[in-house]
A and B are shown apart, each in its own frame.
Chain A
Amino acid sequence: MKYVQRCISVVVFMISFLGCVSCVSDVDFDQTQDVVFNQTVDASLIFFTLDTSDFESVDTQEATITVRDTTRLEFLNDDFIRENLREVTLDFQVDNSFGQSLVNRAAFLNSEGQEQLVVFFEITSSPDGSVQRTEFTEVLSEEDIQAIGNSIQLANEVILTTNGAPINGELSLQSKAIYKLEFSDL
């Protein structure tokens, strides 16, 4: 038994030695509170092509003709996105060969259909039927981002102002959003 005690003493000594010489120092785990991840997500939004038939189907006797479609964008009012969204840039590009004056109006709506934010821009008209390109970028303000956070739908309208000339041509719109997200409070 004396031998066992002696052996155990040796091991206890060795473990104690390792325990004494080993330590974890010069580190600060409280820094986890300072950890911030910055994500930039490039995501497609809506796209469409309109031609003469889309405008013929509505009442062309009015001075302006509006075509409209709506889609839900459910991620906009997601709590996780809303809490961490810091910057949004909307990019639009339109290729147009209509000769009339045109405006694109994108309205972000809440669940009751009320407009929270509207982004609109004029589309360059074509004097001779050739394709004219319009590029439009909107960087949303902090207030706009809050408005977008309350939204769940996007209603896009193309408003054509008649000028007496025949409505003839094609319009293609592309869009994307660049979301800058900042995650903290790990």
Chain B
Amino acid sequence: MRIILFIYIVFIATQLCAQNKQLLYNVDDLPQTLLSNPGAAISFEKHIGIPFFSGISFNAGSTGVSVYDIFQEGGDINTRIRDAIFRLDAKDAFVVNQQLELASFGWKSRFTNNYYSAGLYQETDVIAYFPKDIAVLAYEGNANYLNIPFQFSDVSVAAEVLSVYHFGINKEISKKWRVGARAKLYMSIANINSTDNEGVFITTTTPEGPNFLQHQVLNASITANTSGLRSIIDGDAGAGKAVGRAILSNNLGIGFDIGATHTIDDHWTATASIIDVGAIFHTKDLRNYRLSGSYETSGINLQFPDVLDGEELTDYWQNLEDEFEENIPYEDELENSYTTWRPTKFNASVNRGLGKNLNGDCDCTNSGVDRYATNVGIQLYGIKRPKSFQGAATMYIDRSWNRFLRTKMTYTYDAFSKKNVGVLISTKINKFNVYLAADNILDYSNLAKAQSASVQLGFQLLFDPE
């Protein structure tokens, strides 16, 4: 228990921020913008990603504490751990997201002017909420918490490794509107899901007897569903099988993204998108673990049998164990199918173009769309998580310095950080594009103090209109 608690503290303390790719959103000369808004305005007419290198991203975050909060030099680490446990609540979470584009390409149709994009990426997504009540129980025991329930619902963990095949269409339907949609086929490689737990453990004082205290587990329903792990745990599958599942998995899912860009006037545009509306149906290589039921005990009720009259001694301890197991059975051989919903994300932005129109007064190759060297705006982001909706607001300034260099600087406010400044640098020499984006750069001087950070980079070929 103490090791689990310690790992949780370290996890919480080492979190970096989740999934929000604010630096790539609305960057119209990067194909990755289509993954956060399939209806984004884009400035290229073909792209080919360098396999395995076109999109590499890692981000993670903690809404609670940093490594520094726990492991800073000097002082008493036990006081800091205690402070952290009591400062965090059950909505504080540890989040990690990693993506790797294995293939990425797109082209503009000569006949319809639609932009088609497709590819395959691998993703890892983990969220673990801080199990506040269980942590307090493990850290302090129940003595100071008589008559206070410890909620099992605080235990909430979801982790998924999957690959995603996708195909999207980006279409300008009028001079004011550009819309897009992307179909997704999810291949789950491995999944752990324990998010809908219920029940309480409580120790109550019982002045009316029969004993000082009564210990109760009430309406417990704790379930952990896994897929893709049983064969690995049993040794029936190795790395080769995991790679095979990334290409074609038995645990399939479907989903879609939609998005749009609205040109309000010559200088103002607005965008919105919904990403990863979908579910994965886990039907193979399953293993479910379940603990459910209710039980209460006041201790061992001695009966003082009349041994002299031939009554047998009662095995109270065995009875206690048997009653517990009978009332709260632990099942670890279940193979029930289950469904997990993808963490749906929402994006929206308002953009103001400043300075020179890069497309000139009339750009007939791009339907007359205005494109400015400098853009400023506000982006909103949200993601639906098992317990809550996590949101972020970003202000940005985006500048194309010349044909070769573009930068974007962001300030993001979210539950992970109040001083998140990020920078994107994208260079393009001839058709070869490289970009690197990192946020929370103010904390790079000492990452131990960072509660969130993310890095994205990629290499690809981009083909501009003739």
Q: Using A3-B430, A46-B302, A68-B304 as known contacts, say yes or no to A26 and B73 having CB atoms under 8 A apart.
A: yes
Residues of B within 8 A of A24 (CB): 67, 446-448
When C-beta atoms are compared, the residue in chain A nearest to B2 turns out to be A183
Q: Is B143 positioned at the interface, with any CB of A under 8 Å from its CB? A: yes
- Cα A176 to Cα B204 in complex, Å, equals 13
Which of B307-315, B330-338, B346-354, B375-383 sits within the interface? B307-315
B212 is an interface residue with CB less than 8 A from chain A: yes
Give the residues in chain B near A124, CB-CB below 8 Å.
none
Q: A52 on the interface (CB 8 Å rule)? A: no
- B143 adjacent to A178 (CB under 8 Å): yes
Partner of B432, one of A7, A18, A44, A48: A7
Residues of A within 8 A of B141 (CB): 39-42, 179, 181
Q: Mark B416-442, 1 if CB is under 8 A from A, else 0.
A: 000000000101111011101010010
B444 engages A31 (CB within 8 Å): no
A18 touches B315 (CB 8 A): no
- B440-464 Cβ-contact flags toward A at 8 Å (1 or 0): 0100111110000001010100000
Chain B residue numbers with a CB within 8 Å of A14 are 425, 436
Distance in angstroms from A38 CB to nearest chain B CB is 8
Instruction: Report whether A72 and B317 are in contact in the complex, using a CB–CB cutoff of 8 Å.
Output: yes
Q: Are A43 and B300 in contact (CB under 8 A)?
A: no
Per-position binary interface string of chain A over residues 160-180, scored 1 when its CB falls under 8 Å from any chain B CB and 0 otherwise? 000000000000101110110
Say yes or no: is B402 at the interface (Cβ < 8 Å to chain A): no
With A27-B448, A39-B139 as given contacts, are A47 and B67 in contact (CB-CB < 8 Å)? no
Residues 58-90 of A at the B interface (beta carbon under 8 Å): 58, 67-74
Main secondary structure of the interface of B (DSSP, over half): mixed
A43 touches B444 (CB 8 A): no
Interface positions, chain B 70-102, Cβ under 8 Å from A, are: 71-73, 76-78, 81
CB distance from B217 to the nearest CB of A (A): 14
Task: Please tell me the number of chain A residues within 8 Å of chain B, measured between CB atoms.
Answer: 61
Q: Are A29 and B446 in contact (CB under 8 A)?
A: no
B-contact bits for A2-25, CB 8 A (1 contact / 0 none): 011011101100110010011111
Q: By the criterion CB–CB under 8 Å, are A47 and B139 in contact?
A: no
Q: Are B313 and A21 in contact (CB under 8 A)?
A: no
Most chain-A CB neighbours within 10 Å: which of B5, B214, B433? B5
The residue that B315 contacts in the complex, of A35, A39, A48, A72, with Cβ under 8 A, is A72
A21 and B444 within 8 A (CB): yes
B434, A50: Cβ atoms under 8 Å? no
In Å, the complex CA distance between A24 and B443 comes to 10
Complex formed: what's the CA distance from A67 to B309 in Å? 13
Q: Is A54 on the interface with B (CB-CB < 8 A)?
A: yes
Q: Is B203 an interface residue (CB 8 A)?
A: yes
Chain B, residue nearest A19 (CB): B444
In the bound complex, CA of A25 to CA of B434 (Å): 31
The complex places the Cα of A176 from the Cα of B313 at a distance, in Å, of 22
Q: Pick the contact of A3 from B142, B297, B429, B457 — CB < 8 Å?
A: B429
Chain B interfacial positions (CB closer than 8 Å to A): 2-3, 5-6, 67-68, 71-73, 76-78, 81, 138-144, 146, 203, 209-215, 297-306, 308-309, 313-318, 425, 427-430, 432-434, 436, 438, 441, 444-448, 455, 457, 459
Which 5 residue pairs are nearest across A and B when measured between Cβ atoms? A44-B299, A40-B143, A39-B141, A72-B317, A47-B211
Instruction: For the A-B complex with A37-B2, A39-B140, A47-B300 known, give 18 more contacts whose Cβ atoms are closer than 8 Å.
Output: A8-B459, A11-B434, A23-B447, A24-B67, A25-B446, A27-B67, A29-B71, A34-B77, A35-B78, A37-B139, A41-B143, A44-B215, A44-B297, A47-B298, A47-B301, A57-B306, A57-B308, A91-B212
Q: List 24 A-B contacts (CB under 8 A).
A: A4-B429, A7-B428, A7-B429, A8-B459, A14-B436, A15-B436, A26-B68, A27-B68, A27-B73, A28-B73, A35-B6, A35-B77, A37-B139, A38-B140, A39-B140, A40-B142, A42-B203, A46-B300, A48-B303, A48-B304, A54-B304, A70-B313, A178-B143, A186-B6
